[in-house]
Amino acid sequence: MNHWPSRRGGEEASAPGRAKAAGVAKSKIDSIMSADPNAKVILMGDLNDDPVSPSVTKVLGATGNKEKVKPGGMYNPWVDYYKEGIGTLAYNDAWNLFDQIIVSKALLPKEQKGFFLHKALIFKKEFMLQNSGRYKGYPKRTFDFGVYMAGYSDHFPTYLVLLREK
């Protein structure tokens, strides 16, 4: 589970903190992979960066192309969502996809005895949407500048469907 540093102060100014967090995660993943190259690793959380941000692509080394995942590498199923303009939170009328679940190569093959990645989804239901005001269409927040809005979060949750042969 990860919650990388926020973008407070601006995306560019705060990027080194997220790169450092990605480096710590990468170090842990590499340690697991050195002990077991076929380990099934799942990294998840609010990364405060998008699937195409350098902290995710360069530091963590996650790719959105299953065919390009190298042994010990990570697959990010959220890249296509992001490129289609789909996100988990909105800011200034632009969608970001900060809430990611990234998996190791070992979770990709369907022909195996254990669990494998079937699909990645965003949990977005009507009751979770703000219906009016400046955040119309956004996730329904719990608070808006100290005013209780009876919402859930300013992010939509993400989840994976994992399957295995019966």
Determine the Cα–Cα distance for residues 62 and 78; give it in Å rounded to an integer: 10
Task: Domain ranges for the chain, please list them.
Answer: 2-122
What is the pTM for the complete model shown?
A: 0.94
CA angle (24, 82, 28) in 5-degree steps:
15
Determine the Cα–Cα distance for residues 100 and 122; give it in Å rounded to an integer: 10
Determine the Cα–Cα distance for residues 31 and 159; give it in Å rounded to an integer: 25
Classified by CATH at the fold level, domain 2-122 comes out as Deoxyribonuclease I; Chain A (3.60.10)
10-residue block means of pLDDT along the chain (166 residues)? Answer: 95 96 98 96 98 98 97 96 97 94 97 95 95 89 88 95 93
pLDDT of residue 21: 98
Is residue 5 within 8 Å of residue 66, measured between CB atoms? Answer: no
pLDDT of residue 135: 85
Length of the chain: 166
Is residue 94 within 8 Å of residue 85, measured between CB atoms? Answer: no
pLDDT of residue 149: 85
Give the alpha-carbon dihedral of 15, 24, 40, 160, to 10 degrees. -30
